[in-house]
Structure 1
């Protein structure tokens, strides 16, 4: 079985169309069609249902999506290791939340670009939950997020804490904003499985009547600044807003749950030269900022 056949099948599943899959894979549409047909002949099963507007996986197709992704991922890893010399080279997809991209990872990316010109590291903005899901299914190779401790659900992952990442409770700081502190807690960049203790402490401190979780730090800041809610955000993401007077700390809060910026990767993936280089650079660069 040729892994290119699996890549063609997965491309059609993800894109919902053979034509769009061909564009993504940078091959012709007949090439994608022929590869999928070859895979179907090899398996003796129809994998895609042809529809007027595209394609969708059959029951048999659904059943092989996850193992097909794993085969493609492992095949790519073997290929990268075989092609990699002593100087790290190749592709790596990294996922991170908004606060870490803006305040922690830009120096890391600059460092990698200057030190390893043959490396192709792409950085994708994602929620912690979305990034972990993509890490597990092979769409990402490494994830940076904020966490407070190991999760029982993460036995398939390894992690390394890079630096402390404390949170702050903030509200509007400019004259004219509501003086009374809202009882609604608004937050972003928190994964409940990894920072659940911190969230519970914030809700208890604020006596929050409601907690609203958003995907955007900017939206949380605006809600806090306008007095709609109290923001629970990493201190590094609100330091400038506090200094400029747009936001203020609601309480001098020192939670018992300590949180850190951490890198996560699939257990067993160490030995991938590009991943090892990124993890080492993260320890050197992120820890220093």
Structure 2
């Protein structure tokens, strides 16, 4: 099978339309149709059901899809390995928790750009579940997520240790929580710290109302500062807001608040000089 045919197949499946796929690929719709039919002929199966609204992938197409990403990544790794002379270069697409990006990676990025000027580093933020899925599906070279991670297809390497603190409006003291009625927790959608805080508060006998899910750290801090809820965050992330008196940070038992951030990557991918350089910079960062 031709990798370019597989790319066309993946684009049509993702967009659900041959015309939209042609637009994204910068080619004629007739050429996309021909490439799909050629691939179907090679496989001896139908990949799409055609209808007025576009196309729908067949069950066979969905079974083929995971191999497309794997084959594309394998080809890219082969090219990278052939060209890798030990000098960091090329692209590096890394995922990270937003808290890790803000607290740990932001100070490192200028140094990495200076040390590795031929590397195009891109950081994509998300929650642990989404980032792990993106790594497993070859959409990311690796990601910083909340550990530990136990998956047979992934390597993991610990890098950062964080102390989580309970964050409230300054007018609230920890001992007052049970007395203020149903408590709303505020998190980003899919946050890995949410279950930890929910369990802790319920064990304290605190009734929880429907959680508020927000899209950014700034929005969460603003929401907490005016008393609309509480959250759990690394101490360093809210240090400035606490110093300014916008929020209060409450220390909790280490058994509940010690968390390790690990870097994960697939076991079957090539670890480039660019990724090794990133590892080294983080490892020796004071």
Fold-level match, TM-score > 0.5?
yes
Match of 2:169 in 1: 172
Give the drift of 1:74: 1.4
* Residues 33 and 145 (structure 1), Cα distance of their counterparts in 2 relative to 1, 3 Å cut: same
Give the drift of 1:84: 2.6
Match of 2:138 in 1: 138
CA distance in 2, matches of 1:111, 1:33: 47
Q: Does 1:68 align with 2:65?
A: no
Give the drift of 1:2: 1.2
CA deviations over 1:93-139 (Å, ceiling 9, x no partner): 21122222222222333233222222222211222211111111111
Maintained 8 Å contact 2:84/2:272: no
Is the deviation greater in 230-239 or in 33-42?
A: 33-42
Structure 2 counterparts to residues 21-100 of structure 1, below 5 A: 21-100=21-100
CA RMSD of aligned residues (A): 2.9
CA distance in 1, matches of 2:92, 2:80: 10
CA distance in 2, matches of 1:274, 1:20: 34
Give the drift of 1:283: 2.5
CA distance in 2, matches of 1:136, 1:90: 21
CA distance in 2, matches of 1:206, 1:223: 23
Is the deviation greater in 133-142 or in 25-34?
A: 25-34
CA distance in 2, matches of 1:110, 1:26: 35
Which blocks of at least 5 consecutive residues in structure 2 are unaligned?
none
Match of 2:262 in 1: 262
Is the deviation greater in 72-81 or in 26-35?
A: 26-35
CA deviations over 1:12-38 (Å, ceiling 9, x no partner): 111222343344445554443333222
The number of residues matched between the two structures is 278
Other structure's SS at 2:130 match: helix
Match of 2:157 in 1: 160
CA deviations over 1:172-212 (Å, ceiling 9, x no partner): 1279xx996563333347326xx855663355357353473
Give the drift of 1:272: 3.0
Match of 1:190 in 2: 191
Match of 1:13 in 2: 13
Other structure's SS at 1:138 match: coil
CA distance in 1, matches of 2:205, 2:225: 17
Match of 2:103 in 1: 103
Match of 1:200 in 2: 199
Is the deviation greater in 213-222 or in 160-169?
A: 213-222
Maintained 8 Å contact 1:19/1:29: yes
* Residues 150 and 138 (structure 1), Cα distance of their counterparts in 2 relative to 1, 3 Å cut: closer
Other structure's SS at 2:185 match: strand
Which blocks of at least 5 consecutive residues in structure 1 are unaligned?
none
Provide TM-score, normalisation by structure 1.
0.83
CA distance in 2, matches of 1:37, 1:199: 52
Is the deviation greater in 108-117 or in 8-17?
A: 108-117
Maintained 8 Å contact 2:155/2:267: yes
Give the drift of 1:169: 0.5
Give the drift of 1:227: 1.5
* Residues 88 and 241 (structure 1), Cα distance of their counterparts in 2 relative to 1, 3 Å cut: same
CA distance in 1, matches of 2:254, 2:207: 16
